[in-house]
Structures are given as C-alpha cells and as structure tokens.
Amino acid sequence: MSEAIQDTPQKEVLDILAKYLGEDVDADKLTLEANLEDLGIDSMDVVEIIFDLEETFDIDVPNPGDVEGGSIKFDSVQDLINIVKTLIENK
C-alpha cells in the first residue's frame, strides 16, 4: 500500500471497504481508482458503507439527489475518500 493511501481518512475508508469485500477480492484491486461496482459492491453495500463512514468520521453524507447539481457520486474508492475529506473539512 502506498504511503498516500496509508494517510487518514484514506486508510480508514479503505479499511471500511475491505470489511465489505472480505476475502472475495484481491487486495491489489482495492486501489483509489477502483470502481465500486467492479469490486462487487452493490447499492445496498454502499448504503451500509455510508453508515459506517458517518459513524467513523462523525459526518452526515447527503444523498446525491439532495445536493444541488447532484455533484456527489459514489462510483470509485477515490469518490468516497473525496466525499469524506470534504465533509470533514466543512465540519
């Protein structure tokens, strides 16, 4: 794992994702560019992951439809990290 990935909140987001992936995915596939769907994470998993992120970081992740312009997306690992970082900064 690269040094950048080991930084918080990146490492914590990756730890949460790894919990949902279990042994079903090769750790090398869990990269910042990885698409959640390609990793086998479905929409129900995303909901649970969001709950975990909210609890871990004490943030409220808005629904994409609740954001003006719908600018929040949950497609990649990097998307989740960016959302968490932005919400932490805006606390």
| Catalytic residue set | 42
Q: Which are the contacts of 53, defined by CB distance < 8 A and separation ≥ 6?
A: 13, 16, 59, 61, 80, 83, 84
Contacts of 75 (CB under 8 A, 6+ apart): 35, 36, 37
